[in-house]
Structures are given as structure tokens and as C-alpha cells.
Amino acid sequence: VKTWEDPAQKAARLKSLELGEVLTAKGYIGIDIQVSDGAVIAQVALDGKTGAFLVDGSAQVPLVKQASLEKFGLTMKPVQQQGQAGGSTVIGTVQPKTLGNAEAGVSPPECYVLTLEHFPAALLEKIDGVIGGQFFVDKGAVLDYTGQKLWLKE
């Protein structure tokens, strides 16, 4: 038997909830974001080591900057045939175990390794990689500007 709830009381209860509370209850993990000069930068942990990743809806797979591999303790697997991704040459791949925040993460796909030299120098200095696109679709991403969080779910 379904318990009846007065619609006005239900509306009042739901209005009192914060988005983060709802998403956490649904199994999402939150990643801190900052908006700087029109760019959304997420503080992403790869295998528990945190770096700055540009949020870009056109990036179909996560991209890791070659110069940041050591920071994350990742070993690149060179690609047999180099190809293009986002205006830069894919030089290899890495497979982190987790992508998330310092406490929790989701399983990421294989990530491309690029130099990211096609980015403006000022932005390139600030970031360790790029996330977005199909990865966001696969993980049900929610970008919460008010709460300054990127939410992902396995």
C-alpha cells in the first residue's frame, strides 16, 4: 500500500532539499568546480591524485596532458598510429582506475594522452586535462553552477 502524502507537504519537503543532497542520495559523487574567465575547471582526482580539468562538452573521451602524467602516477601506452583529437595529436593512452574526487570515483574509459598545445598558453598552464562529452552522458553528469559541483554516477 502506497502511503499518501499531502501534495502541499510534499512540495514543501522537496523545496527544502539541496540538489547535492538529492544527488548524493541517488549515488552521485561531487567534484568541485570553479568558473574562471568563462572556463569551467573541475578538480578531478585520477586514482586519488587531484588535478585541474577543463569541462568541455565536445571532448568525447577524457584527455590527459602529457606533461601531467607523472603528477597522476600514470604510465602512457603509446598508440600505434597517431591521430587527431580536439585539434591536437593523440600520442598515447592511459587507463586510470578511478576518476572522481579525493574520496570516491567512477570507472573512467581509456583516456587519450595529448600535449594540448592547441590550447591558449594561459589556459594550458592551469589544466591537466579535459573531460566531457560521451563520458558525461555515460556517467549521467550534472553540472551544478550554484553549488559549484560536477556530479557523476557509476
Report the pLDDT value the prediction gives residue 4, as an integer from 0 to 100.
Answer: 87
Report the pLDDT value the prediction gives residue 14, as an integer from 0 to 100.
Answer: 87
Residues of the chain with pLDDT under 70: 1, 81-87
Report the pLDDT value the prediction gives residue 18, as an integer from 0 to 100.
Answer: 92
- Closest C-alpha to 154, from 94, 112, 108: 108
Report the pLDDT value the prediction gives residue 90, as an integer from 0 to 100.
Answer: 87
Cα–Cα dist 65/133, whole Å: 17
Report the pLDDT value the prediction gives residue 79, as an integer from 0 to 100.
Answer: 84
Report the pLDDT value the prediction gives residue 132, as an integer from 0 to 100.
Answer: 94
Are 43 and 108 spatial neighbours (Cβ–Cβ below 8 Å)?
no
Report the pLDDT value the prediction gives residue 82, as an integer from 0 to 100.
Answer: 57
How big is the chain, counted in residues?
A: 154
Cα–Cα dist 19/28, whole Å: 11
Report the pLDDT value the prediction gives residue 89, as an integer from 0 to 100.
Answer: 80
